[in-house]
Amino acid sequence: MTENGSRLDAGLQAEVRPDRSGPAGNVIVITGPSGVGKGTVVEKLVQRVPHLVRSVSVTTRSMRPGEKEGRDYFFVSPQEFERRKAEGSLLESAEFAGCQYGTPRAWVEERLRGQDDVLLVIEVQGAMQVRQRMPEAVLVFLSPPSLAELEARLTGRGTEGPEKIALRLDKARQELAERRHFHYEVVNDDLDAAVDNLAHIIYAERLRIRNSAR
């Protein structure tokens, strides 16, 4: 953690609604290209910022060894997923590798009423759905320092060939063009600095005066 980050935590965690009594929490959406480091950044962010929880998604894929219902995902049948989608109980949904994923509105709203901020780590497509269905959500785009650096990170994984990496880079270019729809952009050049900046955003949003009661 940077020195600035330490000062931020020492001062603001004690002063910025530590018990989160009062207004409901905020929905914080974080998205960005594959390989930008969302998982690592979010893991550190949740450990650092009090009253910040990561949303649990609904999925049609099968449970894997070590996973637990309600902790990792809510596992449902394709028919149940479509029912929830049709009735509007999902804030967003998307298909990946033949399986459906979505964010359960009721789960999110329950945490918000408990004065927790809820973190959604989703694709750009899902972020735009949340923007439409929950306009008060805070949208943050996590960007790489450059496409060249993103390519180096994807190549360094050693899990995909050149063709797959080229496809991911092409998608990244398309996603980067959508940044204008977001409230904030954080460049993940330095991990600690990126976490610092995201923490600043969350604390600032907790203090923002809103036009209507929530």
Each residue's pLDDT expressed in tens, for the chain with a length of 214 residues:
555 555 555 444 444 444 445 578 999 999 999 999 999 999 999 999 999 999 999 999 999 999 999 999 999 999 999 999 999 999 999 998 899 999 999 999 999 999 999 999 999 999 999 999 999 999 999 999 999 999 998 998 888 889 989 998 999 999 999 999 999 999 999 999 999 999 999 999 999 987 654 4
| pLDDT given for residue 16 in this prediction | 45
Q: Longest C-alpha distance within the chain, in Å?
A: 51
Q: What is the pLDDT of residues 3-27, one digit of tens each?
A: 555 555 544 444 444 444 557 899 9
Sequence-separated (6 or more) residues with CB below 8 Å from residue 52: 28, 45, 46, 116, 117, 119, 202
| pLDDT given for residue 100 in this prediction | 97
- Report residue 155 as tokens: 């190549």
d(CA 208, CA 74): 32
Taking the alpha carbons at both ends of the chain, their separation in whole angstroms is 33
What sign for the dihedral angle of Cα 164, 170, 174, 176? positive
| pLDDT given for residue 70 in this prediction | 95
Domain coordinates in residue numbering, the chain = 18-207
d(CA 140, CA 127): 9
Cβ neighbours around 87 below 10 Å, total:
9
| pLDDT given for residue 214 in this prediction | 46
Number of residues written out for the chain: 214
Question: 3-class SS at 99?
Answer: strand
**Burial class of residue 16, CB neighbours in 10 A (0-12, 13-18, 19+):** middle
CATH for the stretch 18-207: 3.40.50.300
